[in-house]
Structure 1
Amino acid sequence: MQSFDLIVIGTGSAGKTVAQTVREAGKTVAIIDKLPFGGTCSQRGCDPKKVLVGAAEIVARSEQMLDKGISAVPAIDWPALMAFKKTFTDPIPENTEKKFVDLGIQSFHGTATFLSANTLRVGDDELTAKQIVIAAGAKPQPLNIPGEALLIDSTQFLELPELPREIVMVGGGYIAFEFAHIAARAGANVTIVHRGKRPLEGFDADLVNLLVKGVEAIGIRIVLEANVTRVEGEPGDLTVHYDRQGTCESVAAGLVVHAAGRVADVAELALEKAGVEVGEKGVKVNAHLQSVSNPAVYACGDVADKGLPLTPMASYEGRLVAENILNSNRQTFDSDPVPTTVFTVPPMASIGLTEEQARKQGRKVKVLFQETKDWYSNRRINEPVAGFKTIVDEESGQLLGAHLLGAGSDEVINLFALAMKHQIPAKALGDMLFAYPTHGSDLSYMLPD
């Protein structure tokens, strides 16, 4: 039995933040991961995805400017793009583990399983600690359909040596739309099959409608209210069957991608042996991100039932947990709005309440919604879809929500986030002078009088 002050399960943004902070405070720390060290975002998620999005943006921008000064559209060389992506991802496990070694954090490779409230097994090793942090992230949620094993997940998509001609995305959220844009710009025919009435349900409905028009204009087919019932065939020659309003339909594909949501990756942890409760969204935690049922255990990042499944949120939660471990739960979870972006081409970004949410709360609000493809910042690059919606509280003048679609949205949303965090009134934000002409300088026209 090996004993530590702290054991961390997971080496992503949340887990490594906790481990490093607590170790730097002089505590003994062990860290465990069943996957290559470094976490999902840097190896199997946000970062490699954004590399591919960068190539898709070049193609899209060239297509938009064809015969407007640009004479040819470049083609994506998929194997070469994958090789470039690997220059970012391949060094991460070794570099992560080396940093742990340099800090004196003891690393364990394998699946962690609880034996009791504060004891774990990893392979042949048994470990115990005063406190344990679960930061194991998320995994694709089971679809529970025949032929599920024929689908690939987002990790496998980001490792594809070649891109098939016909691709089906099962699901209508971030992953489906981002991968669909990448694949379409690389020359694939893409179909998105989603069971809901509209895709990207967490985003403003009016902006999603604009985005959908742009998506369909580049040849991506979207099938809504479609329940996938089974997938059959052989790899490279598959058929996706789905039920749509009582009618059985199907679509053929060389590749089918699971993009229908993720769940906390806790199935192998045997949390019942530790008395740790799990809900639909993950490990149940209190305001200190401490397990509601086992005070020796904390959870942070995508595996916990608080906060959005975003990398900045995971890092923030990791810092919060580290502070609470070192200083007896002095910090509580901050529920301030967090900006989020779906990296389609163009991107769509959001922070705070949607119009629907604000009205459901009974707020008296000013709402400004406008398509902006004819604004100079969009017209100069011939952006085919763009728009915004802002929601301001009539009584206080504070921003309640901002929703943007178009080039630069992923950066401009951070200005709205800064204003909301520090309670800068909408009028004061609109009076700011920004460098011109930039996407940021459009902000003053996005706020209601």
Structure 2
Amino acid sequence: MEKKKNIIIGFGKGGKTLAKFLAQKGEEVVVIEKSNQMYGGTCINIACLPSKRLIIEAANGVEFTDAVNGKNEMTAFLRDKNYHMLADEPTVTVLDGEAKFIGNHQVEVATTDGQTVKYEGERIFINTGAVPVILPIPGLKDSPYLLDSTAAMDQKSLPKRLVIIGAGYIGLEFAAMFARYGSQVTVLDHNSDFIPREDDDISSAVKKDLEELGVKFELGVDIKQVINKEDHVEVEYEKNGEQLVAQGDRVLAATGRRANTENLGLENTNIKTDSRGNIVVDNYLKTSVENVWAIGDVKGGLQFTYISLDDYRIIKSQLFGDGSYNLASRKTVPYSVFIEPPLSEVGLTEKQAKKDGVDYKLFKLPVAAIPKARVAKNTHGLFKALVDPETEQILGATLYGLESHELINLIALAMKAKLPYTMLRDQIYTHPTMSEAFNDLFK
């Protein structure tokens, strides 16, 4: 059994960045990745970048099959770039194969060329990501018409009718995208409240705009079964005691993701997982086994590539810094949902502030009042921000509108720097831009 200084299981964002850093420090690293189609991780291959590429192409009027081909060219380029980023380092070994723990610090790898390699790692970093959840709906899992978020982006032709199970953020992104390409989209969800964590005025505006795009929502439904016909699929559901059917050429399961630990052999270790299968970590991403860490989606929590990157910073702080940076330091995390227009958020919503009894001053601005939105002919949406009346610091913001995915980072930066909202209000912005809306939002 070979002894290795560093073993990283999974070629994701946090793991690959850590591998590169360790290599530059002259340390030996083995990176194990079971699929040569996943060099670089989930984001560049099957999630953030390909999905946003398709979303942008839809808005630009590109045909679906042309957009998919262009997306594939992009991901192939990025995969190759990421592979060489590590493989060309003299102290890094990229091994194609599936890793399985056979002890707390021992890993067995079944390589893609049929060999078995065993390693003992001084340090081990688990970076295996997450996989889609398929609900136990009769007929769904084995349906020839079933798509998950990965397969949905690799269709050879555009589904004329698409049924999406799940009205969460992933489901909404796909609903907007396929509707833009011309699919007839029906979204089914068990929850009767639409994106319930958002403020009511925001969720109402989002739903209205998506319906205007052609998306049909059936909320508060109980899905009974999936029936596979010769040339289409039928999803039977019950709503208000009525038996209904949604027909489609494909059915997309967008019901969340879970930690990818099923075949990792954790039962052969003392590494603890929670009731949902996430690897349990402390404030420093350490598992219950000494010198074994978990990075990214596999540990649960927010599933964003930039969280995985920030996990790398926590590890770096421990190994080569003062160890002060940890999960407790991560307080201001923005996110965006790439629907049309995008929905972006950071910090408290008005709904959460009321629930928690937080005193706040509310600022609101319709996107229609922003000159750039008029220029771009996209006036949908609403900007909201909450401010602490005493400190004048921003408590949170919800930006639903054109370019909100860029603007939210300015808000997050102001929050992290503890700047008063007046800094954004009185800033001189170029014109016409969406950022100058802060002049009016914070009046």
Task: Give the TM bin, normalised by the shorter chain.
Answer: over 0.9
Report the 3-state secondary structure (helix = DSSP H, G, I; strand = E; otherwise coil) of the residue aligned with 1:385. coil
Instruction: Give the alignment partner of residue 357 of structure 1, picking from 337, 352, 355.
Output: 352
1:125 aligns with 2:125: no
How far off its partner does 1:441 sit?
A: 0.5
For 1:343-382, what aligned pairs fall within 5 Å after superposition? Answer: 343-382=338-377
Q: Normalising by structure 2, report the TM-score.
A: 0.92
Query: What is residue 23 of structure 1 aligned with on the other side?
Result: 23
Query: Could you tell me how far apart the structure 2 residues matched to 1:167 and 1:79 are?
Result: 16
Aligned CA distance change for structure 1 residues 314 and 261 (closer, same or farther; 3 Å)? same
Report the 3-state secondary structure (helix = DSSP H, G, I; strand = E; otherwise coil) of the residue aligned with 1:379. helix
Query: What is residue 136 of structure 1 aligned with on the other side?
Result: 128
How far off its partner does 1:384 sit?
A: 5.0
How far off its partner does 1:8 sit?
A: 0.7
Query: Could you tell me how far apart the structure 2 residues matched to 1:200 and 1:233 are?
Result: 29
Contact 1:211-1:385 within 8 A present in 2 as well:
no
Query: What is residue 172 of structure 1 aligned with on the other side?
Result: 167
Aligned CA distance change for structure 1 residues 403 and 179 (closer, same or farther; 3 Å)? same
Query: What is residue 446 of structure 1 aligned with on the other side?
Result: 441
1:422 aligns with 2:385: no
Aligned CA distance change for structure 1 residues 135 and 339 (closer, same or farther; 3 Å)? same
5+ unaligned residues in a row in structure 2: which ranges? Answer: 111-115
Percent identity, aligned pairs only, is 30
Instruction: Give the alignment partner of residue 50 of structure 2, picking from 33, 48, 57.
Output: 48
Report the 3-state secondary structure (helix = DSSP H, G, I; strand = E; otherwise coil) of the residue aligned with 2:234. strand
Query: Could you tell me how far apart the structure 2 residues matched to 1:156 and 1:338 are?
Result: 29
Task: Kindly provide the CA deviation profile for residues 241-270 of structure 1, in whole angstroms up to 9, marking residues without a partner as x.
Answer: 223344432201000111111111111112
How far off its partner does 1:374 sit?
A: 4.4
How far off its partner does 1:412 sit?
A: 1.1
Task: Kindly provide the CA deviation profile for residues 37-70 of structure 1, in whole angstroms up to 9, marking residues without a partner as x.
Answer: 22111011111111111122224xxxxxxxxxxx
Query: Could you tell me how far apart the structure 1 residues matched to 2:362 and 2:231 are?
Result: 48
Query: Could you tell me how far apart the structure 2 residues matched to 1:325 and 1:242 are?
Result: 53
How far off its partner does 1:217 sit?
A: 0.9
Contact 2:134-2:255 within 8 A present in 1 as well:
no
For 1:291-370, what aligned pairs fall within 5 Å after superposition? Answer: 291=287, 293-306=288-301, 308-326=302-320, 329-333=323-327, 334-370=329-365
Contact 1:237-1:253 within 8 A present in 2 as well:
yes
Query: What is residue 91 of structure 1 aligned with on the other side?
Result: 77
Aligned CA distance change for structure 1 residues 351 and 12 (closer, same or farther; 3 Å)? same
Query: Could you tell me how far apart the structure 2 residues matched to 1:55 and 1:408 are?
Result: 16
How far off its partner does 1:317 sit?
A: 0.8
For 1:22-421, what aligned pairs fall within 5 Å after superposition? Answer: 22-35=22-35, 36=37, 37-59=39-61, 76-103=62-89, 104-123=91-110, 124-147=116-139, 148-150=141-143, 151-234=146-229, 236-279=231-274, 280=276, 282-291=278-287, 293-306=288-301, 308-326=302-320, 329-333=323-327, 334-421=329-416
Task: Kindly provide the CA deviation profile for residues 214-245 of structure 1, in whole angstroms up to 9, marking residues without a partner as x.
Answer: 10012100111123232120575101122334
Superposed CA RMSD in Å reads: 1.8
Report the 3-state secondary structure (helix = DSSP H, G, I; strand = E; otherwise coil) of the residue aligned with 1:313. helix
Deviates more, 1:402-411 or 1:361-370: 361-370
Aligned CA distance change for structure 1 residues 228 and 18 (closer, same or farther; 3 Å)? farther
Deviates more, 1:26-35 or 1:256-265: 26-35
Query: What is residue 113 of structure 2 aligned with on the other side?
Result: none
Q: Normalising by structure 1, report the TM-score.
A: 0.91
Instruction: Kindly indicate whether structure 1 or structure 2 has the higher relative contact order, using CA contacts under 8 Å at least 6 residues apart.
Output: 1
Query: Could you tell me how far apart the structure 2 residues matched to 1:413 and 1:235 are?
Result: 47
Query: What is residue 10 of structure 1 aligned with on the other side?
Result: 10
Contact 1:56-1:345 within 8 A present in 2 as well:
no
Query: Could you tell me how far apart the structure 1 residues matched to 2:109 and 2:42 are?
Result: 20
Task: Kindly provide the CA deviation profile for residues 369-422 of structure 1, in whole angstroms up to 9, marking residues without a partner as x.
Answer: 343324433233332521111111112111011101111111111111111111
Query: Could you tell me how far apart the structure 2 residues matched to 1:434 and 1:383 are?
Result: 20
How far off its partner does 1:113 sit?
A: 1.1
Contact 2:166-2:188 within 8 A present in 1 as well:
yes
5+ unaligned residues in a row in structure 1: which ranges? Answer: 60-75
Query: Could you tell me how far apart the structure 1 residues matched to 2:230 and 2:429 are?
Result: 52
Contact 1:367-1:390 within 8 A present in 2 as well:
yes
Query: Could you tell me how far apart the structure 2 residues matched to 1:194 and 1:384 are?
Result: 28
Query: Could you tell me how far apart the structure 2 residues matched to 1:281 and 1:27 are?
Result: 31
Deviates more, 1:154-163 or 1:279-288: 279-288
How far off its partner does 1:329 sit?
A: 4.4
Query: Could you tell me how far apart the structure 1 residues matched to 2:225 and 2:379 are?
Result: 36
Deviates more, 1:319-328 or 1:381-390: 319-328
Length, aligned pairs only: 430
Task: Kindly provide the CA deviation profile for residues 72-131 of structure 1, in whole angstroms up to 9, marking residues without a partner as x.
Answer: xxxx32221111112211133333222222113112222211111111111111111011
Task: Kindly provide the CA deviation profile for residues 198-224 of structure 1, in whole angstroms up to 9, marking residues without a partner as x.
Answer: 333443332121011010012100111
Report the 3-state secondary structure (helix = DSSP H, G, I; strand = E; otherwise coil) of the residue aligned with 1:390. strand
How far off its partner does 1:361 sit?
A: 2.1
Query: Could you tell me how far apart the structure 1 residues matched to 2:350 and 2:60 are?
Result: 33
> What is the one-letter code of the residue matched to 2:98?
T
Query: Could you tell me how far apart the structure 2 residues matched to 1:93 and 1:437 are?
Result: 37
